Amino acid sequence: MLPENLTAVVARNETWSGASATEPYEAGWAREAIVFVRALKEPKGALPKARIEISADGMHWCAEGSEFALPATRDAVTFQRLTHFGNFVRVAATLPDGAAITVLVTLHLKA
């Protein structure tokens, strides 16, 4: 059987402002991941970088160290490659006052 290969949409049409993150996702079976973020609407304000966070339990989170730009215009896509991320993973961003982005976040995971 071919190794598992999953496209998981973990945030769809969610508008982020302030402290925002995707729901915790378990991907311990996967050796690698690419996180894609697409802006579904025109973003507002100054966008910060998004960061990858990892967790032992899905409740207590650490910054994994990877940071990447959020898409600056509608339908723009950004991504981040990931390896060695344990089990729980999420994408987080802290948006300043006046900034907002409506996102589609997709995890592409491979065993």
Residue 40 sits in the site that holds other proteins (CB under 8 A): yes
Q: Are 48 and 63 in contact (CB under 8 A)?
A: no
Strands 49-55 and 61-69: antiparallel
**How far is CA 86 from each of CA 47, 48, 53, rounded to the nearest angstrom?**
28, 25, 11
What residues numbered 59-78 form the site for other proteins, per CB under 8 A? 59-60
To other proteins, the closest distance from the beta carbon of 78 in angstroms equals 19
19 binds other proteins (CB under 8 A): no
Binding-site ranges for other proteins (CB under 8 A): 1, 4, 6, 8-13, 23-29, 40, 56-60, 87-88
